[in-house]
A and B are shown apart, each in its own frame.
Chain A
Amino acid sequence: MSSGHSGVHVSPLSTYLSIFAALMVLSAITVGAAFVNLGAFNPIVALAIAGVKATLVILFFMHVKYSSRLTKLTVVLSLFFVAILFAETLMDYATRGWLNYTPMGQ
């Protein structure tokens, strides 16, 4: 962990290599887990592993771990916006038919 004279954080080579190794292991686990019947948890496990991989890339390859708080806030904000997109759309999906599609005569 050293920092250049302009204050830029320079990660050691070993950090990049271990993150790469972790990403490879997680990719192998994703494929392995897909062949095990976990029922409803298959997609959850797949997305959780993808989430961990993405987090490693963001923190270490994209240097967000060493970025300013304003940059960190922007990163979190993008996830927050996507969360709104998903939440509102899924709410529509779950509730759209509540009145319109009540079977006739009931």
Chain B
Amino acid sequence: MSNGYAHAEGAPSMHGHDHAHHPALQHHFSTMSQQREAGVLGMWVFLLTEVLFFGGLFITYTLYRMWYYEAFALASKSIEIVPGLINTVVLIGSSLTMALSVRSAQTNQRKATVNWLIATIILGSVFLGIKVYEYALKFEHHHVPGATFDFFGHAEASGEGHEAPAEGVTMGRDQIQRTTQIFFSLYFVMTGLHALHMIVGIVILFIIAWMAHKGRFDSEYHAPVEMTGLYWHFVDIVWIFLFPLLYLVERH
């Protein structure tokens, strides 16, 4: 496998005429900027399908939240805010390092490109680690939907008293049991699919970091870094909406 589209025979010049093709220019494109533009557009069309994919989950969340608002408020209040907030900071931080990696590629800084990609991988892994801790807590508290689900079990066992019936809650105990399970089902599906996207993203980041290390990118050609960035930022945006919807219901 040949590494190094560029650099091998000196930097390709785009100042010359059409004879000086960049080695990464595919034959069906006329110029590098046309090729880049097509790539960006294609990536956004893919992200459009992703927006609709997560959109389906968000509308499901919205409907159930309207039907069982009390359950959503109770269940959301049982989630610890701090790990979620730390993860928000970590993930937005990883978006910053990702953006800086793309910028380094744009400005021909190979080493910085690789380093910012590695920083992004580390921050993404920290996010997933905290997510594992949060999931473990849910299993411990019997807040995982299924046969062992018991919304009150943990609060009663640890002597924190009844989380319900709290003020204004009109549902009976078994109604709360059933409807809070819906919240936690959505919690696991939404954060789970988000985490799956991050795992895929981290695998891609490793590949891109390796390609960058091998000198495959320069200021003319760094589409893989840029596309990975678009994907990573999209995943960040999903979390920006998930955080208030899952962690911050009726906190006052």
Q: Which residues of A contact B (CB under 8 A)?
A: 4-8, 10-11, 13, 16-17, 19-20, 23-24, 27, 30-31, 34-38, 42-43, 46-47, 49-50, 53-54, 57-58, 60-62, 67-68, 70-71, 74-75, 77-79, 81-82, 85-86, 89-90, 93
Contact = CB atoms under 8 A, between A and B. Distances in A.
B51 interface: yes
Given A7-B33, A85-B56, 14 more contacts: A16-B96, A20-B95, A42-B252, A49-B244, A60-B99, A61-B96, A61-B98, A62-B233, A71-B44, A74-B41, A85-B59, A86-B58, A86-B62, A89-B63
A82 B33 contact: no
Interface in B20-58: 32-33, 36-37, 40-41, 44-45, 47-48, 51-52, 55-56, 58
Interface residues of B, number: 53
What secondary structure prevails in chain B residues at the interface with A? helix
B155 interface: no
A53 B240 contact: yes
Contacts of A17: 96
- Scoring B36, B66, B241 by chain A CB atoms within 10 A of each residue's CB, the highest score goes to B241
B103 A20 contact: no
B220 A77 contact: no
B136 interface: no
A46 B241 CA distance: 9
Contacts, number: 140
Nearest to B50: A78
Interface string B81-95: 100010011001101
A71 B51 contact: no
**Which secondary structure characterizes the binding site on chain A?**
helix
B47 A5 contact: no
Nearest to B54: A82
B51 to A, nearest CB: 4
A71 to B, nearest CB: 6
B76 to A, nearest CB: 10
